[in-house]
Amino acid sequence: MKSDFLIALTQLAAERNLPREIVLSAIEAALVSAYRKDSIAAGQDISVKLDPGSGEVSVYLLKRVVEEVTDPQLEMVLDEARRYKADAEVGESVAYESLPHSAGRIAAQTAKQVVLQRLREAERELVYEEFADKEGEVYTVTVQRIEPRQITAELGRAEAVLPPTEQVYYERYRVGQKMKVLLKSIERSTKGPELIVSRADKQLLRRLFEMEVPEIYNGSVEIKAIAREPGARSKVAVWASQSGVDPVGSCVGLRGIRIQNIVNELHGEKIDVVEWDPDPTVFIAHALSPSQVLRVDVEPATLSATAVVPDRQLSLAIGKEGQNARLAAKLSGWKIDIRSDAEAAAARAPAPAPTAEAVAAAAQAIATQAEEAAQPAPVVEVPQPAPAPAPEVVEVAAQVAEVAAPAPAPEAVEPAPVPETPAPQAPAPQPEPAPAGEPRTPVEAEVAEALFEQERARHEPEPVAVAAQSLSELPEEVWTVRRPPVSAEPGQIRFAEDIEELRPDGPGRRRGGRRRRSFRRRR
């Protein structure tokens, strides 16, 4: 009995990774629950003592010492209690009777359930006590389950939860993968302590630097600020508290071995290590690395700064989708406006002062506008055109005037007016000859002649009168036909007469003839 009980107690404590005292107290609580279900001790207070050396179980009935008894099964007076225990006091529980430690099947099943429950509670309490003061530490976990809402990882004897908000968007996880996480918080729940870990927190980057860089761990190099976009890029500002120590070089390491280990742990995330400076202008210039900064103008009242960079490095200073400028603003805590050198020079250039002539001209223009506005506007009479007569009236009037007009004297005939170049008109109709063999009467001939003259007058253009000019007074330009200048530019279309003028031998005719073809004699 002794050896079996000790072996079972030791094995249970090893499996549950619990101390033997906790397992022993859990068994005693289970036995108390089992004996309370016995009909002998129903409704009474029971105490069970278990000897770990011999494995013997002692069961006692307990009563509480009071001055006045109200419940005889649970209470006793002081005089009666001192018969069982000489130094008993009021308020103390005294064992007054021993019970046999045999229990039935139902009591044994109840004891088993109580033992398991007490052991689970003990495990949860130990887990909570183990990680209660470890928030912010880095642990290596193994992925156990991948669920849509979260990832469950094994963290020693406990299970850690990686929620979607703490995951890196660019990372992909698989079952059995080992990775470093930051213990962000620990909470109590009905299922035990819940450990929340993170891969996206910037404190994870700080802890990784402390693990890889001894100068940061011992305090000679201090991390002043961190700006991070998980999975993409991060900026770390470091400062050396000890003279003679290069903060950036110590973080990078020999040939970049230290920073490369951190980058590999974060699955390729880019990290920029810059030097911190108490002067905000210098620190902002360092934060915009790797771009070159010419000048930084700060406004401490609004915590805003304007950084001037070369024109060719404006896109490098802003970064892809503004990432470099955004991280620099987070790192420094200032609102940064980035401008190129040309834009800054244009903003600084003062406006040219107006000259005296320009001022006098502007004053004269203003005075003239004022005078014109003061004068009343003149009334302009627009002559109304006479209505045009109907075409039938014009034609009848022309015929009447032609018949009634007397024939002019030969000496009074004025020279015919020179018409302008008329547009091509349809040819005037010719009198139809009388058919052969059919003589006309004088009346028919006169009517045909009148009709012919009427048609010709209608088709001929009206003469253009040149007032107070004769043929001798007309300028020479009237008789000259102007041609557009001939352009010899290649690729331009020219008229045929222009092409003829451009030929060296003058106008000529196109030569015809057959083309002669030369055939190579085949051998």
Residue found under tokens 């007469």: 497
Question: What's the rounded Cα separation, in Å, for the pair 6 and 27?
Answer: 13
Give strand pairing partners of 77: none
Q: How far apart are CA 131 and CA 196, in angstroms?
A: 11
Instruction: Report how far apart the first and last C-alpha atoms of the chain are (Å, whole number).
Output: 123
Confidence band (pLDDT; 50, 70, 90) for 200? very high
Containing H/E element for 338? strand 335-340
- 130 confidence band (pLDDT: 50, 70, 90): confident
Residue 51 neighbours by CB under 8 Å, 6+ apart: 57, 58
What's the CA angle centered on 264, arms 262 and 268, to 5 degrees?
105
Which pLDDT belongs to residue 496?
52
- In this predicted structure, which of 111-125, 149-163, 404-418, 433-447 has the lowest mean pLDDT? 404-418
Nearest Cα residue to 274 out of 327, 212, 197, 323: 327
Q: For residue 181, what are the contacts with CB-CB under 8 A and spacing of at least 6?
A: 138, 139, 140, 141, 153, 160, 162, 197, 198, 199, 204
Please determine, for residue 356, whether its predicted confidence score (pLDDT) is greater than 90. Answer: no
- Given a contact cutoff of 8 angstroms between Cβ atoms, the answer to whether 302 and 250 are in contact is no
pLDDT band at 237 (very low <50, low <70, confident <90, very high): very high
pLDDT cut 70: percent of the chain above it: 67
Q: Residue 1: its pLDDT value, please?
A: 44
pLDDT of 270 > 80? The answer is yes
pLDDT score of 403: 45
* Arithmetic mean of pLDDT over the chain: 76
Cβ neighbours around 27 below 10 Å, total: 22
Residues linked to residue 7 through DSSP beta bridges, in sequence order: none
User: Per mean pLDDT, which range of 245-249, 466-470, 472-476 is the poorest?
Assistant: 466-470
pLDDT, position 492? 53
Q: Confirm if 239 and 283 have CB atoms less than 8 A apart.
A: no
Q: What's the CA gap between 450 and 462, in Å, rounded?
A: 19
Give residue 81's pLDDT.
79
Each residue of 476-502: pLDDT tens digit?
A: 665 555 555 555 555 555 555 555 555
pLDDT band at 326 (very low <50, low <70, confident <90, very high): very high
Q: How confident is the model at residue 164, as a pLDDT?
A: 92
390 or 202, greater pLDDT: 202
pLDDT at 7: 76
Give whichever of 70-84, 386-400, 412-426 has the largest mean pLDDT. 70-84
pLDDT at 418: 45
* Averaged pLDDT, 216-241: 93
pLDDT at 359: 67
Q: Answer whether residue 253 shows pLDDT above 60.
A: yes
Q: List Cβ neighbours of 151 (8 Å cut-off, separation of 6 or more).
A: 143, 145, 161, 162, 167, 173
Q: Are 90 and 80 in contact (CB under 8 A)?
A: no
3-state secondary structure 172-195: CCCCCCEEEEEEEEEECCCCCCEE
Lowest mean pLDDT among 2-11, 177-186, 253-262, 287-296: 2-11
pLDDT at 349 (0 to 100): 60
Q: What is the tens place of the pLDDT at every residue in 381-394? A: 545 554 555 555 45
pLDDT band at 211 (very low <50, low <70, confident <90, very high): very high
Q: Is the pLDDT of residue 461 over 60?
A: no
**Range picked from 71-85, 146-160, 262-276, 336-350 for highest mean pLDDT:** 262-276
Q: What is the mean pLDDT of residues 124-133?
A: 86
Higher pLDDT, 144 or 90: 144
> Does residue 11 register a pLDDT over 90?
no
Contacts of 167 (CB under 8 A, 6+ apart): 151, 173, 199, 200
Strands 178-187 and 158-162: unpaired
Phi, psi of 51 (to 5 degrees): -90, 110
- What pLDDT does 102 receive? 61
Greater pLDDT, 347 or 500: 347
For residues 387 and 174, the model is more confident at: 174
More confident residue, 439 or 340: 340
For 344-379, give one letter per residue: b (16+ CB within 10 A) or e.
beeeeeeeeeeeeeeeeeeeeeeeeeeeeeeeeeee
pLDDT of residue 117: 84
pLDDT digits (tens, 9 = 90+) for 35-52: 776 655 566 777 777 777
CB atoms within 10 A of CB 36: 15
